[in-house]
Structure 1
Amino acid sequence: MTAQSPRVILITGATAGFGEACARQFAAAGWRLILTGRRLEKLQQLQSELGGAEQTHIEAFDISDRSACEAMFEHLPEGFAEVDVLLNNAGLALGLEPAWQTSLDDWERMVDTNIKGLMYMTRLILPRMQQRANGYIINVGSVAGNWPYPGGNVYCASKAFVRQFSLALRADLLGTAIRVTNIEPGNAETEFSMTRFKQDSSRAQSVYRDTVALSAKDIADTVWWLVNTPAHVNVTTMEIMPTQQANGPFAIFRADS
């Protein structure tokens, strides 16, 4: 794949945040889009704004539903079936409680979305890319996959999976023209925290208070740059944090003397 040839990008979790920003960036450059998400009305709105059905194909389903993922690939319309780039963006964090207090339902949903959904989409698209000897898979991981924090528990673990899965894909695909990149954003101001805190706007806003976080456009610019690097260049892992964020020292518990 070269910077001149790609025409179709499949973006999961396209209804907000990084996914929506990437959809707008690629649509503006004339790409055809396949946008997936659970919110049909938002997908329809994006389709209307981004060139209509001729440029943007939408699929509303839950990424953790394997049969729905399979059905989507089986019924892609002409002009969208040959996907050049898969952006595995769908993902979420739920809660920030310590492990013994968190909800098992939340843990399962994070595993189903962040791990299983990414697995399904990748496995289903790879034979198509292999057949064409062409393609690029970009996974949206997180700095949480490298740097754990209190309350991160399963979210951190799910993003560590994304990192290792991306590296293993690179090993499997060595010698092919298919590229793989894992993007690892840090603090970014999107709907992420509203989802994590279940629409508690006060808690969500506190995450970004008195700091300058990454924006969805920052990540869209990064994805656009990656896709337009030469075909012989593979950026394996890219960790991106705002200037006002850094990993800190190890924590040490000191009992009262």
Structure 2
Amino acid sequence: MTNPAPMNTTHQQRSAVVTGASTGIGEATVRALAADGWRLFAVARRAERLERLAAETGAVAVAADIAEDDDVARLLGEVEAGGGIDTLVNIAGGARGTDWVAESKTEDWEWMLRVNVVGTMKITRAFLPMLRATGHGTVLNLTSVAGLVAYEGGGGYNAAKFAERGMTRALRLEEAEHNVRVIEVLPGLVKTEEFSLRRLGGDAEAAEKVYAGVEEPLTSEDIADIVRYAVSVPHHVNLDEIVVRPVAQAAAHKLIRRG
């Protein structure tokens, strides 16, 4: 993907908070933006992994749980002390379980709603005044095609991603008057280090079957490149909704597996 021109050469160095930065798409996004010269705050709960990423990319590592008020307040303080940001990239999220609604586990649903919806709300709420103050702020939320089409065994994750998508669309309407652009990236099948493994309770064999026979699922780097592009185009350009799937996934109900 071709690098866009800088957003506006009269502005200072671009700067962002990236959540979910300890693994997968979040980690790849930090690497992609760092390669373009962004000043970055990499946020996740696992401090050790963040420190390694920071050493490699120059990002500032901030270990924090975005659903915890004290952690969000501490993160905001560190970012303010570090010069502030003009972009918030909400990657943190995830799925737990594949139970049908009739067998749903309350704790799985509560975790998914907490991480995908409440956490995204809390960190966005905290940083909106800063983003408004720049006059050219950006919020990018990574949701999922699970927020577009429901499927058996996906009820909890569907509920979380439909909710996150609804919040994102409302935010876009609310923040337009403040010149804050709001972008949503909705990936389909992405093969990452941990997503399916975590969803399936650490069962590596079951996690691998999710991608079995799919010749080229998307990668974390594919999505990170799209995120990088979307937040780097000139600010008057808003890529409102970007749905991205591998060619093998023609629709939610059609996934080509070979062999």
TM-score with structure 2 setting the length: 0.90
Aligned counterpart in structure 1 of residue 182 of structure 2, from 160, 163, 180: 180
Determine whether 1:120 maps to 2:122.
yes
Aligned to 1:111: 113
Aligned to 1:37: 44
Tell me how large the CA RMSD over aligned residues is.
1.7
* Offset, 1:118: 0.1
Check whether the contact 2:87–2:131 (CA below 8 A) recurs between aligned residues.
no
Farther off after superposition, 163-172 or 136-145:
163-172
Aligned counterpart in structure 1 of residue 165 of structure 2, from 163, 166, 175: 163
Aligned to 1:208: 211
Q: Distance in 2 between matches of 1:192 and 1:162?
A: 18
Q: Deviations over 1:104-143 (max 9, x none)?
A: 1111111110001000011001011112212110000000
Q: Deviations over 1:3-62 (max 9, x none)?
A: 5445211110001111000111111122111011111110111111112xxxx2111122
Structure 2 counterpart of 1:75, one-letter code:
E
* Offset, 1:77: 5.9
Aligned to 2:7: 2
Overall identity of the aligned pairs, in %: 35
Aligned positions, number:
245
* Offset, 1:174: 2.0
Structure 2 SS opposite 1:184: strand
Q: Distance in 2 between matches of 1:173 and 1:215?
A: 31
Determine whether 1:67 maps to 2:73.
no
Aligned to 2:232: 228
Check whether the contact 1:3–1:227 (CA below 8 A) recurs between aligned residues.
no
* Offset, 1:100: 2.0
Q: Distance in 1 between matches of 2:246 and 2:117?
A: 25
* Offset, 1:102: 2.4
Determine whether 1:47 maps to 2:54.
yes
Unmatched tracts of structure 1, length 5 or more: 251-257
Q: Deviations over 1:132-181 (max 9, x none)?
A: 21211000000000111111112111111121111111111123321101
Q: Distance in 2 between matches of 1:249 and 1:218?
A: 22
| Alpha-carbon distance change, 8 to 203 in structure 1, aligned in 2, over 3 angstroms | same
TM-score with structure 1 setting the length: 0.90
Structure 2 SS opposite 1:150: coil
Runs of 4+ more than 4 Å apart: none
Q: Distance in 2 between matches of 1:176 and 1:225?
A: 22
Check whether the contact 2:86–2:130 (CA below 8 A) recurs between aligned residues.
no
Aligned to 2:156: 154
* Offset, 1:248: 5.4
Unmatched tracts of structure 2, length 5 or more: 1-5, 255-259
Q: Distance in 2 between matches of 1:210 and 1:3?
A: 44
Aligned to 2:31: 24
